[in-house]
Structure 1
């Protein structure tokens, strides 16, 4: 015997003012009696503070009280029987009724290191004390309502940057400091979640051969803990735009596709905030790099040059 939830949309993306629709699929070799079929939806922002981003006292708190967003349930069917074979039971539930007061605004689905915004739909088929309740849970994705989207277009302006041995705040190999290098480019610092992060980069000069050029997408999660704010920066993904010693004075395109569940619009809420950064990392050929394992690709290294830019993500019409 099995129970499954199947939503009407394959991508499972819904807006707060829409109806969550789908089917409850029950497969049973024989008919069963039940005391009601209940469907419930819930949404919350789950916060935590890890020991690596806070002190000993802060890490003692561990998981903080979640921020509730949504909690409601309906009875799909009253007490009765489900026949043998495969039975499909349709359901429909409006996430937010017009004029309905909610505990919080509907933040977009986001899976981070310390912040996790999640929406779940669950079904329970109650069978009494002698039988175990049949249950199934499925996550669905919430995006901003059309009324909350930014109407103005994303700014086409790009920020200019240049990377040399003099712009680095961490120690470099002697041959990098003496020989020198210069990399220039530009990149968009405001981007729609449905579009890639774009820009361009040019290696004008480098005395030491280049090994790789990578674009790191970073999230900056801040959680309010008591009277202080605990902030942690972590890596979302890395996109390599050059492999090997690139030709000088040739423009390289920057094109980074944003992962859906790991990104959401930039948020500044009361108990938490989510921001983003983009880091351009240039690795140079060095025998020293072969002796060290790369546990954190964003950590400063003697054979690396880096430049970090802020990135604002928005949801547009």
Structure 2
């Protein structure tokens, strides 16, 4: 490409208030004239409800109007000029801030989900007049939101007690599970930093039916205000197996789940949308019926499964 944008940080990760430095690199075979050289930082929240989640009425709102977070223009060359042949570097810098009025008044973390996308783009434009096509290049800026208040409030992870029996299940179980007895106890953290794992422990106190596996599911809940209704989509983004086969009774099983950075962001509770997370403990018991169904989605009610789902609060330190 004739021009490209490069930042001084190879990982392109910045936080609010930091200085963003970079350069436009133009590689030309012949000189060109330009009218203006402009750098634009734009932050946008794109909301879209997939068709499978909506009915006829909701489909009218399948694409919600994007929300502008930030819009900042920087003129590197406000008057006409020329770029010579070969390689030319044009440096730029600006502070990542929300001084200008935008749609939100705060910066959200960069996030790419199924229905919600929070993206920050740096666009470089070299305008050349009506008879020539402008030269353009785009680069994504990764924003990490530094929420100091939330960090102070959640210094220590919150451990929630786990208690799973046949009486805590809301779906129908196999007769041998309903008539027999199983009990799983322990604890798990429901508030954690993006840089820290979900931790805890499980103990199988008793089980009349042999256990096939124990899995920890990380779920993402994306909710969008579409018209006058809230449309939510829950998806499994990671499955971690902590036990394979029938485990010894009364033995402590450690829980250690690392959060996938590209699929997780700090919990967001906003007016038109929200991004929340859940952690689900799923116990699969040995049964001939389980072979008839795929194990791709453990959230689906199966009579040989017992589970416990808890809300997970994610923050950044």
Normalising by structure 2, we get a TM-score of: 0.90
1:148 Cα shift?
5.2
1:63-88, Cα deviation, whole Å (9 max, x unpaired): 10122111121122343333333333
- More divergent stretch after superposition (77-86 vs 190-199): 77-86
1:307 Cα shift?
0.5
CA distance in 2, matches of 1:120, 1:23: 14
Tell me if 1:251 matches 2:287: no
The aligned residue for residue 210 of structure 2 is 209
* Secondary structure class of the residue paired with 2:261: coil
The aligned residue for residue 238 of structure 2 is 237
User: In 2 relative to 1, CA 287–38 (structure 1 residues): closer, same or farther, beyond 3 Å?
Assistant: same
User: In 2 relative to 1, CA 133–211 (structure 1 residues): closer, same or farther, beyond 3 Å?
Assistant: farther
- More divergent stretch after superposition (250-259 vs 25-34): 25-34
For structure 2, the 5+ residue unaligned runs are none
* Secondary structure class of the residue paired with 2:177: helix
1:100 Cα shift?
4.2
CA distance in 2, matches of 1:126, 1:242: 60
User: In 2 relative to 1, CA 183–75 (structure 1 residues): closer, same or farther, beyond 3 Å?
Assistant: same
Tell me if 1:195 matches 2:196: yes
**Contact 1:23-1:90 at 8 Å conserved across structures:** yes
User: In 2 relative to 1, CA 100–75 (structure 1 residues): closer, same or farther, beyond 3 Å?
Assistant: closer
1:145-172, Cα deviation, whole Å (9 max, x unpaired): 4655532443344110121222111122
CA distance in 1, matches of 2:284, 2:89: 56
1:137 Cα shift?
1.3
- More divergent stretch after superposition (253-262 vs 144-153): 144-153
1:218 Cα shift?
1.2
Normalising by structure 1, we get a TM-score of: 0.90
**Contact 1:109-1:261 at 8 Å conserved across structures:** no
* Secondary structure class of the residue paired with 2:170: coil
CA distance in 1, matches of 2:182, 2:29: 71
User: In 2 relative to 1, CA 51–146 (structure 1 residues): closer, same or farther, beyond 3 Å?
Assistant: closer
* Secondary structure class of the residue paired with 1:56: coil
**Contact 2:5-2:138 at 8 Å conserved across structures:** yes
CA distance in 2, matches of 1:86, 1:302: 66
| Number of matched pairs | 315
The aligned residue for residue 2 of structure 2 is 2
- More divergent stretch after superposition (138-147 vs 180-189): 138-147
The aligned residue for residue 59 of structure 1 is 59
